[in-house]
């Protein structure tokens, strides 16, 4: 059997590894557009900051590691078309030679590409001018080259999402003065505005100048100084604003890379991502797809688009198994995410109120600020936790947490994610047998204290009324 995988990132490599794990007789060929298979794109900000000493350390597995599994790697090879009827792909190698490669089963993991916002001048400027997008290892090397050759003292980041925030920290760590511009009312718009404000305050405390409710409208070269870039913006009340900086980084999100699949006849869904079912089948015979190029099956929202590395790994594993004739199913995402910004950690899982309303729930939210461990043990610090549940059923719908680094925010959001996966009520969280020792937690963990606050606010009056009716009867 010949299994061909397009894409050497999370989904593609996971599919290839799963196939080789299940059947070592299968010939697995992975076609990669660049020379960097299985590299951690999520780790790029930490290479830029210097915390990861060498770019090769970003490889989940080395080229030799991947070959040792029995897969064949064709690097610097671009797939130009999928011939579904002929069960082959057309490829072009680094020398420009075009050829075809046959397959019995095909897994497509082309991922996503950076969004280019409608900024005047962005299309005319590039790395040589100090203007960068950041998504691939090639983008990383171009940025590193700019940092080395231009030695910028100032930088402007367009975007206040996960990567933008991590890069604000990374560039600040290098001694660069950073301006961050976000068009929405607050940075980190994946959490509620009040929690995003905590991250905003941490950025400001570390010297990052943050402009929210502000849109970048134009980037142009400086008139006299070679390294200067003029950046124009517009505030929400239509007031012009301008910055002179030496480096611009545009990181405003990604869109699915779907040209190959759509040209082959696959269907498009939310955000233009390719439609797949929970087995990762595309509807095209013998063609599977996974990762940031396909829709996401969300356990609370249904079909949506939510590109995450954790999701891509899981989807790729399912696609690799089913390409061999398996019956695996992707269990669905909850959108669980976490980000570190200097000494603050923010995380979320499930739905916020607005999202839950759109999904037909009757959501209500309570915020609590329990300490990360017992107050009598030195160093206890509060975690801001927002719990959202369904008022009718008590079902847990989501949680958001912001707290100091070291307060186990990432692991605590995982507790909520596990409860969501198993469709627990908010009240059920109090029944969980969680670990406790005074330096690390409390007899009621912070996640349970926040859940109990929700129950008191939204269910206790009904409980009391029920008990009173029993007493009267």
Measured CA to CA, the distance from residue 102 to residue 82 in angstroms comes to 10
Percentage with pLDDT > 90 across the chain: 96
Rounded to the nearest angstrom, the gap between the alpha carbon of residue 451 and the centroid of all alpha carbons in its chain is 26
Tell me which residue range forms the domain holding 296: 2-112+255-323
Domain end, chosen from 208, 228, 250, is at 250
Kindly state whether residue 337 falls inside one of the protein's structural domains: no
Q: 246 and 127 share a domain?
A: yes
Kindly state whether residue 328 falls inside one of the protein's structural domains: no
Count of CA atoms in the C-beta half-sphere (13 A) of 181: 24
* Coil/strand/helix, residue 105: strand
pLDDT of residue 254: 96
Kindly state whether residue 368 falls inside one of the protein's structural domains: yes
pLDDT of residue 227: 84
pLDDT of residue 392: 94
Record the tokens describing residue 80, joined without a space: 């130009």
pLDDT of residue 471: 56
* Coil/strand/helix, residue 309: helix
Q: 134 and 234 share a domain?
A: yes
How does pLDDT run across 85-98, given as a tens digit for each residue? 999 999 999 999 99
Record the tokens describing residue 213, joined without a space: 């409710």
Measured CA to CA, the distance from residue 361 to residue 357 in angstroms comes to 5
pLDDT of residue 225: 64
Domain end, chosen from 250, 285, 300, is at 250
Q: 391 and 411 share a domain?
A: yes
Q: 185 and 267 share a domain?
A: no
pLDDT of residue 208: 98
CATH of the domain at 240: 3.50.50.60
Q: 82 and 160 share a domain?
A: no
Q: 446 and 356 share a domain?
A: yes
Q: 175 and 280 share a domain?
A: no
pLDDT of residue 459: 84
Q: 450 and 379 share a domain?
A: yes
Measured CA to CA, the distance from residue 247 to residue 459 in angstroms comes to 53
Q: 261 and 244 share a domain?
A: no
Instruction: Report yes or no: 10 and 312 within 8 Å, Cβ to Cβ.
Output: yes
Q: 229 and 267 share a domain?
A: no
pLDDT of residue 473: 53
- Residue 295's closest CA among 258, 266, 263, 270? 270
List of residues 6+ apart from 153 with CB closer than 8 A: 176, 177, 246
Kindly state whether residue 129 falls inside one of the protein's structural domains: yes
pLDDT of residue 470: 54
Kindly state whether residue 331 falls inside one of the protein's structural domains: no
CATH of the domain at 396: 3.30.390.30
Kindly state whether residue 335 falls inside one of the protein's structural domains: no
Domain end, chosen from 223, 250, 277, is at 250
Residues of the chain with pLDDT under 70: 224-225, 463, 465-473
CB atoms within 10 A of CB 460: 12
Q: 234 and 133 share a domain?
A: yes
Q: 282 and 308 share a domain?
A: yes
Number of domains in the chain: 3
């Amino acid at each position: 059997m010949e299994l061909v995988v397009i894409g050497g990132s999370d989904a593609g490599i996971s599919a290839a590894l799963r196939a080789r794990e299940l059947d070592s007789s299968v010939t697995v060929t992975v076609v990669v557009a660049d020379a960097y298979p299985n590299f951690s794109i999520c780790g790029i900000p930490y290479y830029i900051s210097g915390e990861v000493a060498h770019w090769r350390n970003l490889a989940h597995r080395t080229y030799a590691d991947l070959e040792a599994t029995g897969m064949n790697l064709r690097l610097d090879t671009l797939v130009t078309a999928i011939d579904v009827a002929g069960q082959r792909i057309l490829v072009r190698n680094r020398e420009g030679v075009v050829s075809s490669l046959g397959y019995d089963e095909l897994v497509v993991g082309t991922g996503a590409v950076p969004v280019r916002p409608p900024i005047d001048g962005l299309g005319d400027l590039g790395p040589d001018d100090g203007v960068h997008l950041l998504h691939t290892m090639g983008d990383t090397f171009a940025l590193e080259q700019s940092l080395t050759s231009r030695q910028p003292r100032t930088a402007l980041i367009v975007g206040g999402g996960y990567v933008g925030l991590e890069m604000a920290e990374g560039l600040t760590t290098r001694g660069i003065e950073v301006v961050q511009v976000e068009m929405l009312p607050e940075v980190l718009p994946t959490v509620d505005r009040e929690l995003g404000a905590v991250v905003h305050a941490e950025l400001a405390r570390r010297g990052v100048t943050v402009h929210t409710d502000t849109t970048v409208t134009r980037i142009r070269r400086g008139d006299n100084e070679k390294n200067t870039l003029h950046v124009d913006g517009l505030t929400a009340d239509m007031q012009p604003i301008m910055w002179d900086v030496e480096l611009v980084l545009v990181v405003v999100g990604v869109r699915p890379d779907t040209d190959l699949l759509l040209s082959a006849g696959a269907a498009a869904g939310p955000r233009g991502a390719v439609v797949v079912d929970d087995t990762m089948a595309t509807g095209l015979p013998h063609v599977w797809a996974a990762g940031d190029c396909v829709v996401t099956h969300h356990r609370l929202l249904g079909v949506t688009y939510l590109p995450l590395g954790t999701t891509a790994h899981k989807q790729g594993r399912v696609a690799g198994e089913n390409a061999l004739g398996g019956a695996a199913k992707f269990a669905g995402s909850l959108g669980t995410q976490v980000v570190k910004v200097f000494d603050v950690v923010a995380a979320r899982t499930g739905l916020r109120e607005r999202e839950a309303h759109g999904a037909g729930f009757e959501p209500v939210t309570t915020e609590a600020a329990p300490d990360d461990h017992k107050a009598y043990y030195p160093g206890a610090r509060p975690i801001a936790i927002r719990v959202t549940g369904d008022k009718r059923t008590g079902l847990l719908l989501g949680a958001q947490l912001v707290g100091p680094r070291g307060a186990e925010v990432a692991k605590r959001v995982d507790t909520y994610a596990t409860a969501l996966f198993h469709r627990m009520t908010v009240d059920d969280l109090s029944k969980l047998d969680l670990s406790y020792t005074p330096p690390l937690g409390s007899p009621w963990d912070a996640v349970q204290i926040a859940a109990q606050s929700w129950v008191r606010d939204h269910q206790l009056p009904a409980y009391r009324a029920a008990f009173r009716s029993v007493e009267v009867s």
